[in-house]
Every structure is written in structure tokens, then in C-alpha cells.
Amino acid sequence: MKNIVVTGGCGFIGSNFLNYMVPKYKDYQFINLDCLNYCSNVENVKSFENYQFIECNITNLDMTKFLLQKYEPEVIFHFAAQSHVDGSFEDPLRYLEDNTKGTTVLLESLRILKLKSLFFHISTDEVYGESSDVEMLENSILLPTNPYAATKAAAEMLLHSYGKSFNQEYKIIRGNNVYGPNQFKEKLIPKFIDLLKNNKKCTVHGDGQMKRSFVHVYDFSTAVEMIWLKGEGRQIYNIGSSEEFTVLEITKKLIQLIKKTEDYENYILLVKDRSFNDNRYLIDCEKLKGLGWKQTINFEKGISELVKDKFLVYGSKGWIGNIFCQEISKENICFQGKERCENYEKVRNEILKVRPDYVICSIGRTHGGIYNNIDYLENNPEINQRDNFDAPKNLMDICEELNIKCLYLGTGCIFEYDDNHTIGNGVGFTEEDSPNFFGSAYSRKKGELDLLTRQYKNTLNCRIRMPITKDSNPRNFVDKIKSFEKICSIPNSMTYLDEAIPEMLRILKEGKTGTVNVVNPGVISHSEILDSLGCKYNLITIEELEKKCVKARRSNNYLVTSDCLNLTPIKDIFK
Ligand SMILES: NC(=O)c1ccc[n+]([C@@H]2O[C@H](COP(=O)([O-])OP(=O)(O)OC[C@H]3O[C@@H](n4cnc5c(N)ncnc54)[C@H](O)[C@@H]3O)[C@@H](O)[C@H]2O)c1
């Protein structure tokens, strides 16, 4: 099998390039050499059989030489670099080390080993320096204005000299700004997306009038591939987009998409500019287009995809988890958790891999065996502990550690009417109240966890009750009571999921945490529901029910609806 070495493949562009190329070119073994800088992540690259990651700093000649000797790559795609312009003003020597020396070490290894690998150097349009109205061609003069660009230009010069002096074959690629998934949050677009999603202002340098062109990383990857397949000789290629925007225009676009407003002032903060900030990089890409390459993702499309929130749903096969997935998929990206959440390590790895913006925890146990209800848990304490406590707690712990927002679907069935909250006195249980109902194994566990959620700053504990939907389902509370031989009719708080799920997602996105009573305002009794549906029923007292029909006691209560929610009074739902 032939080998391809990719350097810096755990970074933004390198990882996208690998995810594109590795499954496509199965005849090649891809070896990713990366030293795992602060901006990189091994999880950026999907796992494939013909892919291998080796932690290696390319400034280390011995190790680099050893690996190149071992793998004798046909091609090297060299992405590894310090890539943040702002950082290069603070530590130019670091940039010189990784960008210029790192490139030279690779070239020197090839020279010493007498390897004939084709060397793809991923450079930047910033090597041209600031442009006015004239598009830069591949043979335009290089006049870098910041240390990052200067170290990249210096690497190009060394490569050129290795071509002339040692017959090194190469191609140089000078790219516009690139954007897309996996980009580290220090760069303009991911940084502003992150700030806006956290309700913070975008920090725009100077007056924001600098112009930038952005090419999507997918198009960048296909361009590199095209140059590999069709480019001839020692050539330089510009890769760019025909679209150009000012930084302020990009910021406004992101505000529109994420905040759904044109009230930009609230989300923009103008800050001191860089020591020097190029006004514009205008490049000519006709040479690349001549090979047959086309940009396929325009900025509007690429950015709309990128701002979508990523949700990871656990319990997605359950009734409510499934409704969550459907609702989430309307405007967001929805992943369904595959690991069992009691397995801390496995589920943590899965979360690290998916890297969601939000985790939805819709796991829990409300039935099993011959029981269609919580009575099942009276004789199954281990399952109760595992599914109603340990597994959701693991998710909350992991989200806390990784700073991910977690929506936990809790229950309101941890309260019962008492002397202060009598039936009909209009005093309901609030979010601050602690559980007072411990009559069933289910409620005891859920109550314990309800209390514990107060310690998590990333968890939104949504207490729902007797959930109903307009569609029928064996778990829908209305379908349940329709099937009961006898009902006891006590006014209760209930949750109409068709309204409540979009509301829960809305407040989650708005950054709400803590406990929220997600019930429709007011109370309704079982007989009122069945009356409204024209169903016949037989009544039974709660005492009789608990003595004759069920193993565990049931909670009845009135919860005060959280004022952050917009829900229809429960009685109006049945009108
Ligand atoms: N992102 C852009 O907009 C853009 C535009 C044009 C060109 N480029 C160039 O494309 C390349 C990739 O950029 P990116 O945005 O993916 O950068 P990135 O910072 O996301 O990734 C760079 C990767 O290189 C690795 N790396 C750095 N120094 C290393 C060393 N000494 N040894 C081994 N690995 C090392 C890092 O760990 C990281 O994984 C860079 O060469 C950059 O100059 C980027």
C-alpha cells in the first residue's frame, strides 16, 4: 500500500482534508503527524482503517526523519503550522519555529533520506501582503505584513530553494481565509458564533471595514485534491472565493442567523485594531479554475449550515426523546446517543467525539416487565438506581466538566398536595420547593436527582408532569387514562408536549439553567379530560386505587408554571 503523510491533520483544515480524502482513496494509507497544539483535537478526524495518527512535532528532525523513512510517503500534504495572526504578534519566534523551521525539517529529512516525495505546502494569501484593487497572481511579489505571513513566506522561499538546489518536487497552495467545521474558536467566524450563542458581543477589530474572502473548507479540500490529481510541475496555486465581505458584514450576517434580529448594536463591540491589519487580500484563482475546480458552497449556504446547533440526544428511542429529535431536526443538527449512559467512560468519549452544543437527557425508567407503569420499579431497585439516577447524573457530570449545556427531563411527580398546598387553594409548588412526595421508588429516585441538579451550573432541570400529546401513544397520559377501568379524579398539573418541547428548547438556547416547572398553567382532573373527549369512565377514590390497583402510591399536585415559558392553560388544550 502507498502512503500519504499529512502534517497538522488534527487541526482545522488538515482534519477536514483527511475526512474527505481518507475514505475516498482507500488504496492509500494516510499517516497524520501532529504535535497536538492547543487548537488541535484527535477527534477532529473520523476513524478509518487506512488512517493512522502519530503524535510528532515536525520541528524534531530525528523523529520526523525516522517516520518519513519508515513510511516513505508518495506525497506529503503539509498543513502543520501556527496559524493565528493575532498570536504571531505576541510570539513571532514560536511561529518561526513551527512554520519555517518545521517546513525545513520536513524538507531536510527528505533530502537526507533521498526520498522523492511530492511536497504540498499549504501557504496563505497573506504572503502577498495587503492588496488594493489589483488581484494577486501566483507570480506577484510577496510582501507579508505580519509575522505569521512572513514565516509562511519564508517557508515558501526555503521550499523554492530545495527545488532548485536538491530537485525537491513541490506545489504551493495559497489560500484565502477558510471556514467550516472543526475550526478553533480563536478565529473570526467560530469565535463570533460562540460569543453570540453565549449572548455576548462580537469583538470587531477597528471599524470592521477590512475586507475578507472566505472559502469553505470542503471546497478548499477539493481544490488541494484537484491540484494533486491534475497540477503539473513545481507550481503555485491560489485558492479563493469570488465573494468578499467586510468583517462588519460578516458579523451582521451571523447576528441575523443566530440572534434572528437586525438590531446589531446590541451584539457588536468595536475593539482596538491589530498592530497592523491588512485591508484586503484579493487573489486571482483562474489558474486553479483552469484545472476544472469550482467553488460549490457559497458563503450564505456554508455559514447557515455552520451556525446550526448540534444536539446529542440520549433516550432518543423513547417516546419523549423521539419527539425531541423530531423537533430538534427542524432547525438544528441532531445526533442520537448510542452509548448507554451508565457507562461513564464510553458516554464521555461519545460526547467528546460529537462535541455537541447541547445534550438532551431523556433517559429514565417508568415501566418494564409486565408493568406499563412505575410499579415495575418497586421490585427493581438496581434498575431504578441505574436508569433514574446514575445514568442521567453521569450526563450532567460530563456536561459540567466539558462545559456543555444539558437539558435533563425531570419530573413534577415528586410533590403531593399538603397542608399548605391543598386541592383548590391555588397555592402550587414552585421551582424553589424541594420534593415532598416519597411514596414510590420512582419518585424517591427522581426526587433525589431533582435536588442534586441544583449543584450543576450547566443543567436545565425540566420538571414535566403527566405528559400528553395530540397524537396517541401508549405513553401519552390521555391514552393511558382512557384505557383505565377506573380513574380517580383529582386536579393535576400536566404538560402538553407539543407546546412544551419547543419551549424547553427555546429556553435552553437562551442559556436558561436551574429548575423549571414545565407544565401548562392551571390544573385539570382526569374526569374533566375524559368528559371533554366524550369518554365514559368509572370513578374510584385515591385510597381505593392505592389499596387495590397499584403497588406504589401516586403523586397528585399543582405545580406553578415557570414564568419563562409561554404555554396555553391546560384546560384550554382540551377545549
Ligand atoms: N485557516 C485559514 O483560514 C487558512 C488560510 C490559508 C492558509 N492556511 C494554512 O493552512 C494550514 C492549516 O491551517 P489551520 O487553519 O487548519 O490551522 P490549525 O491551527 O487549525 O491547525 C494546525 C495544526 O498544525 C499542528 N502543528 C502546529 N505546529 C506543529 C508542529 N511543529 N508539529 C506538528 N504539528 C504541528 C497543530 O497541532 C494543528 O493541529 C496552515 O499551514 C495555515 O497557515 C490556513
Give the model confidence (pLDDT) of 445-482 as tens digits.
Answer: 999 999 999 999 999 999 999 999 999 998 899 998 88
Is any ligand 1 atom within 6 A of the Cβ of residue 80?
yes
What pLDDT is recorded for position 548?
Answer: 72
The confidence band for 440, taking pLDDT boundaries of 50, 70 and 90, is very high
Question: Using one digit for the tens of pLDDT, what is the confidence trace for 28-48?
Answer: 999 999 999 999 999 899 989
Residues 34 and 55 in one domain: yes
Instruction: Evaluate: CB of 8 within 6 angstroms of ligand 1.
Output: yes
Instruction: Say if residue 383 is in the same domain as residue 340.
Output: yes
Cell of 431: 421551582
Q: How far is the CA of 8 from the centre of ligand 1 (A)?
A: 6
% of residues, the chain, pLDDT over 70: 99
- What share of the chain has pLDDT > 90, as a percent? 83
> What CATH number corresponds to the domain at position 12?
3.40.50.720
Give the C-alpha distances (Å, rounded to integers) separating 455 from 86, 243, 460: 38, 48, 11
- 160 Cβ neighbours under 8 A, 6+ residues apart: none
For a mutational test of ligand 1's pocket, the pick from 13, 159, 177, i.e. the residue with the most ligand atoms closer than 8 A to its C-beta, is: 13
Residue 476, in any domain of the structure: no
Cell representation of residue 278 = 491588512
> In which band, very low, low, confident or very high, does the pLDDT at 117 lie, cut at 50, 70 and 90?
very high
Residue 358 annotated to the active site = no
Cβ(126) – ligand 1 distance below 6 Å: no
Establish how many alpha carbons lie within 13 A of residue 508's alpha carbon, considering only the half-sphere containing its beta carbon.
28
* 546 flagged as catalytic: no
- At 298, list the grid cell: 457559497
Given 297, 331, 366, the domain boundary residue is 297
The Cα 496–Cα 63 span in angstroms is 62
3-state secondary structure of 100: helix
pLDDT at residue 227, rounded to an integer? 98
Kindly state if the Cβ of 152 falls inside 6 Å of ligand 1. yes
Ligand 1 pocket residue status of 61, Cβ below 6 Å: no
Question: How would residue 27 be classed by pLDDT, with cut points 50, 70 and 90?
Answer: very high
What are the C-alpha distances in Å from 298 to residues 24, 188, 218, 260? Answer: 23, 18, 11, 21
Q: 240 CB under 6 A from ligand 1?
A: no
363: domain range? 310-468+495-521+558-568
Return the pLDDT at 374: 85
Last residue of a domain, one of 297, 332, 364: 297
User: Is the same domain home to 419 and 286?
Assistant: no
**Same-domain check for residues 223 and 324:** no
pLDDT at 34: 98
pLDDT at 277: 67
Is residue 226 in a domain? yes
Which one is predicted more confidently, 210 or 360?
A: 360
**Ligand 1, atom 18: nearest CA belongs to which residue?**
11
**pLDDT tens sequence across 263-279:** 999 999 998 876 666 67
Angle at alpha carbon of residue 413, lines to 412 and 415, rounded to 5°: 85
Which of the pair, 314 or 211, is modelled with greater confidence? 314
C-alpha cell at 534: 366524550
Q: Are residues 46 and 132 in the same domain?
A: yes
Distance from Cα 153 to the centre of ligand 1, integer Å: 14
Domain count, the chain: 2
Q: Is 148 part of the annotated catalytic residue set?
A: yes
My answer on whether 75 and 221 are in the same domain is: yes
Query: Closest Cα partner for 180 from 20, 305, 325?
Result: 305
Per residue in 60-90, pLDDT (tens digit) is 999 999 999 999 999 999 999 999 988 899 9
**Quick one: pLDDT band at residue 554, thresholds 50, 70, 90?**
confident
Pocket test for ligand 1, best of 33, 76, 83 (most atoms within 8 A of CB): 83
Report, as an integer, the average pLDDT of 527-549: 85
* One domain, residues 29 and 167: yes
pLDDT tier, 134 (very low <50, low <70, confident <90, very high otherwise)? confident
Q: Give me the amino acid identity at 120.
A: F
Q: Are residues 288 and 361 in the same domain?
A: no
* Residue of the CA atom closest to atom 21 of ligand 1: 11
Given a contact cutoff of 8 angstroms between Cβ atoms, the answer to whether 361 and 315 are in contact is yes
Using pLDDT thresholds of 50, 70 and 90, give the confidence band for residue 326.
very high
Which residue is catalytic, options 125, 278, 357, 503?
A: 125
**What is the C-alpha to C-alpha distance for residues 547 and 488, in angstroms, rounded to an integer?**
13
Whole-number Å distance, alpha carbon 37 to ligand 1 midpoint, is 9
Q: Does residue 538 lie in a domain region?
A: no
Asked whether residue 439 carries a pLDDT value surpassing 80, the answer given is yes
pLDDT higher than threshold 90 for residue 55? yes
| Shared-domain flag, residues 335 and 399 | yes
Helices (H), 8-146: 12-21, 61-71, 85-90, 92-95, 102-113
340 and 230 fall within a common domain: no
Question: Residue 542 falls within a domain, yes or no?
Answer: no
**Residue 58 near ligand 1, beta carbon < 6 Å:** yes
Q: Mean pLDDT throughout 197-205?
A: 91
Q: Once rounded to an integer, what is the mean pLDDT over residues 522-550?
A: 87
376-386 residue pLDDT tens: 888 899 999 99
**Would you say residue 98 has pLDDT above 80?**
yes
Give the separation between CA 38 and CA 22, rounded to whole angstroms.
24
Beta-ladder partners of 492: 524
* Catalytic entry in 51, 95, 148, 162: 148
User: Given pLDDT bands bounded at 50, 70 and 90, which one contains residue 170?
Assistant: very high
Q: Is 116 a member of any domain?
A: yes
Residue 51, pLDDT above cutoff 80: yes
Q: Please indicate, yes or no, if residue 186 is contained in any of the structural domains.
A: no
Are residues 293 and 374 located together in one domain of the fold?
no
Query: Comparing 387-391, 475-479, 492-496, 566-570, which segment has the lowest mean pLDDT?
Result: 475-479
Reported as a single tens digit per residue, the pLDDT across 327-343 is 999 999 999 999 999 99
Q: Whose CA is nearest to atom 1 of ligand 1?
A: 178
One domain for residues 441 and 348? yes
Which residue is associated with the grid cell 477589530? 205
Contact 11, 39 (CB under 8 A): yes
Whether 409 contacts 551, CB under 8 Å: no
The answer for residues whose C-beta is within 8 angstroms of residue 345's C-beta and 6 or more apart is none
Is 15's C-beta closer than 6 angstroms to any atom of ligand 1?
no
What is the Å distance from ligand 1's center to 281 Cα? 19
- What is the average pLDDT score of the chain? 94
In a domain, 263, yes or no: no
Is residue 251 assigned to a domain? no
